Amino acid sequence: MSPCSEACALRPAFAAVEKLLLAQWPNQEKLILAEHNRKKHKNTTITRNTLDILYSFANCSGFHLVFGLNALLRKDGLQWDSSNARTLLDYCASRRYNISWELGNEPNSFRKKSGVYIDGFQLGQDFIHLRQLLSNYTFYWNTKLYGPDVGQPRKHTQRLLRSFLKSGGKVIDAVTWHHYYVNGRSATRKDFLSPEVLDTFVTAVQEVLEIVHGTVPDKKVWLGETSSAYGGGAPRLSNTYVAGFMWLDKLGLSARKGIDVVMRQVFFGAGTYHLVDANFEPLPDYWLSLLYKKLVGTKVLQVGLAGADERKLRVYLHCTNALHPKYREGDVTLFALNLYNVTQHLQLPNYLSSKHVDQYLLLPHGKENILSRSIELNGRVLRMVDDKTLPELTEKPLGPGSILGLPAFSYGFYVIKNAKAIACI
């Protein structure tokens, strides 16, 4: 165990997270969902102790914490009142907490959810104010600031985003927006398997990129919050194998469109779109995310498909993650989703047909089929070995010339070894 992980293991605050969640989460979840349904929210006070536990958990987990400050605190209903943020920053700076910052969440819904209306110009001025405030702290002189975390890019939201970027876009490090495919209360299994539904994401990305390129063309674009269905997810869908089609396709399309960072809603929490359930058991999208991170590098390659509808057999190609111990520079990772109701066979082009391929095929486990909350990798059920140990993610080697069989309604990864892709060297 490294000194850092030893310190984390011994730190009471880290152990406290598990204890707190197990003891308090069931009641907290009911309260959150009840408030959400009533559309009335109580004020919540974050204490120093809460912040210590949160930062310790993020730090020990290897996460970087991005903290969203309250944008609804206003002076005379107009300018942002930063006095509360200053109190928080004083404390965080004194503890030398390495945090990035946001201001507000989905400002396009402020009027509807809280009765406060802030236009894009004013929000941009508020971000300039926050950047100036951060620069008063030596520790946060170069800290990152992200925003404005707008919701789906409908017309009103597009106007707000454009106005915000013209006003304050220069002070942010990346433009953030949110995306969900469907309403969790009305979504169906058919929606989760629909090429038309999946394609709506491309349209949304293009709308956001067009606004950003027209106002602050040098800025990165991030998905600051995203999942399958809004409103907490779709019951018995967002936490099952079938949700993986939306998630894997979104990861592939985001990379292809140049979106550098995708923040998943939610690791643990209310609703059904979490990666880890209330007993800390990983769900299918957790395993899918883990495999993606291990096998897929950041460099996107062009890939074409012949003989099938590429909206129903969706394929993506990247350089393999160079940090993976089994693979080397020049290897490539193909990942594919089959929305056909029959097996599809993928044949590599001639110049790759002599290469060995490692298959990582993900299939649902159990009689619920694609509505299962359990997943198999190459026929082996994925489960935690114990509270702290992940299982081996074992490949299935395929010989040269093998045809890659992707069963009906399934997805998987294929690492093509020794591909010697020049772009990956």
Q: Give the DSSP letter string of 163-204.
A: HHHHHHGGG-SEEEEEEEEEETTT--HHHHT-HHHHHHHHHH
Determine the Cα–Cα distance for residues 362 and 266; give it in Å rounded to an integer. Answer: 21
Q: Is 276 helix (H, G, I), strand (E, B) or coil?
A: strand
Side chain identity at residue 273, one-letter code: Y
First and final C-alpha spacing in the chain: 33
Given a contact cutoff of 8 angstroms between Cβ atoms, the answer to whether 160 and 118 are in contact is: no
Determine the Cα–Cα distance for residues 291 and 335; give it in Å rounded to an integer. Answer: 11
The reply to whether 376 belongs to the active site is no
Q: Which one of the listed residues 102, 207, 225, 395 is annotated catalytic?
A: 225
Q: Which one of the listed residues 102, 106, 376, 395 is annotated catalytic?
A: 106
Number of C-alpha atoms within 13 angstroms, CB side, residue 26? 4
Determine the Cα–Cα distance for residues 22 and 15; give it in Å rounded to an integer. Answer: 11
The residue with tokens 């649902």 is 364
The reply to whether 102 belongs to the active site is no
Neighbours of 258 (CB within 10 A): 11
Given a contact cutoff of 8 angstroms between Cβ atoms, the answer to whether 374 and 281 are in contact is: no
Given a contact cutoff of 8 angstroms between Cβ atoms, the answer to whether 320 and 327 are in contact is: yes
**110 — phi, psi (to 5°)?**
-55, -45
Q: Retrieve residue 58's tokens.
A: 């993020």
* Nearest in space to 227 (alpha carbons), one of 164, 145, 283, 309: 283
Determine the Cα–Cα distance for residues 28 and 25; give it in Å rounded to an integer. Answer: 5
Given a contact cutoff of 8 angstroms between Cβ atoms, the answer to whether 144 and 107 are in contact is: no
Determine the Cα–Cα distance for residues 223 and 148; give it in Å rounded to an integer. Answer: 11
Neighbours of 9 (CB within 10 A): 12
Which distant-in-sequence residues (6+ apart) come within 8 Å of 226 by Cβ? 178, 179, 180, 250, 262, 263, 264, 265
**321 — phi, psi (to 5°)?**
-60, 115
Determine the Cα–Cα distance for residues 118 and 202; give it in Å rounded to an integer. Answer: 28
Active site residues: 106, 225
